[in-house]
Amino acid sequence: MYTMVLSILHRASGLVLSAAGFLYVGWLAAAAAGPGCYERAVRWLSSLPMRIALALALAAFWYHLFAGIRHLSWDAGLGFEKRTARRSGVVVVVLAAAAFAATIFLTPAGRFLAGMP
Amino acid sequence: MSERPGSASRHWRNQRLTAIALVPLGLWFLASLLRQPSLDYAIVSGWFAKPLQAFLASLFGAALLWHSMQGVQVVLEDYVGGPLRGISIVIARALHVGAALALAFAILRLAQGAAS
């Protein structure tokens, strides 16, 4: 059950990051189009729904990164034993939560997403 | 999408390659993004006007879009059935190729901004 939830979370976070990848392209395309277009894009990205979406993408980034490293180590034949796999799942969630909290609270861009001064 | 023998294992291997590439590239991108003093036009256009940064940004974008396409395809193969499956994969592929072209064009234009 618990490993199944983590596996679905890996897929879900991947899909969130796919959407974020398209935002990355749109953001750079707006910058290439010029200052006026870029300003409008940033104003849209600064709206509350988009800030929530970007914070979600940040959480997805950290989860997908650590869970992805866990998957890659399985491919290398490491940590596939049941107890080790359960334990590494906990490590992934804790690391992702800590990294998310650090980037949200300790960086200017993160504090902006969280709506903090 | 196993139209050719060996295409599934190639898909599997390529997905791992892009996954490994995205560990350093993703961390580079996030660290660079979070380190910018602001995301004003002048700062962002100055960031991508540097050749190495533009190169890394395109490498990151290419790996990200490729890995994204591979992941989306697996999800569509698992959850979409019938004739919609093939169509949805073709649409997803077209969107990703379009995004890759737009990204290449945007980064080239931003990199040229330094010269002019």
pLDDT band at A81 (very low <50, low <70, confident <90, very high): confident
Q: Of the candidates B13, B51, B105, which has an alpha carbon nearest to the alpha carbon of residue A31? A: B105
pLDDT, tens digit, 9 for 90 and up, residues B5-60? 677 788 888 889 999 999 999 999 999 999 888 889 999 999 999 999 999 999 99
| pLDDT over 60 (residue B82) | yes
Q: For chain B, what percent of residues have pLDDT higher than 70?
A: 93
Q: What is the predicted pLDDT for the residue at A5? A: 87
pLDDT, tens digit, 9 for 90 and up, residues B46-56? 999 999 999 99
* Cα–Cα distance, B1 to A48 (Å, whole number): 40
* Cα–Cα distance, B30 to A78 (Å, whole number): 28
- Structural domains of chain B ordered from first start: 7-112 (1.20.1300.10)
* Cα–Cα distance, B17 to B39 (Å, whole number): 31
Task: Name the minimum distance, in Å, from the CA of B80 to any CA of chain A.
Answer: 15
Q: How far is CA B90 from CA A19, A34, A41, B1, B72, in A?
A: 17, 32, 28, 11, 11
Q: Which residues of B touch A19 (CB under 8 A)?
A: none
SS (H, E, C) chain B: CCCCCCHHHHHHHHHHHHHHHHHHHHHHHHHHHHHCCCCCHHHHHHHHHCHHHHHHHHHHHHHHHHHHHHHHHHHHHHHCCCHHHHHHHHHHHHHHHHHHHHHHHHHHHHHHCCCC
Task: For the beta carbon of residue B45, count every other beta carbon within 10 angstroms.
Answer: 19
Interface residues of chain B, partner chain A, Cβ below 8 Å? 16, 19-20, 22-23, 26-27, 30, 33-39, 41, 44-45, 48, 57, 61, 64-65, 68, 71-72, 75, 95, 99, 102-103, 105-107, 109-110
| pLDDT over 70 (residue B114) | no
pLDDT band at B1 (very low <50, low <70, confident <90, very high): very low
Q: What's the whole-number average pLDDT of chain A?
A: 93
CATH architecture of A2-113: Up-down Bundle (1.20)
The contacts found for B54-59 with CB under 8 angstroms, 24 or more apart, are B54/B107, B54/B110, B54/B111, B56/B25, B56/B28, B56/B29, B57/A28, B57/B29, B57/B107, B58/B103, B58/B104, B58/B107, B59/B21, B59/B25
CA atoms within 13 A on the CB side of B106: 26
Q: What is the predicted pLDDT for the residue at B10? A: 83
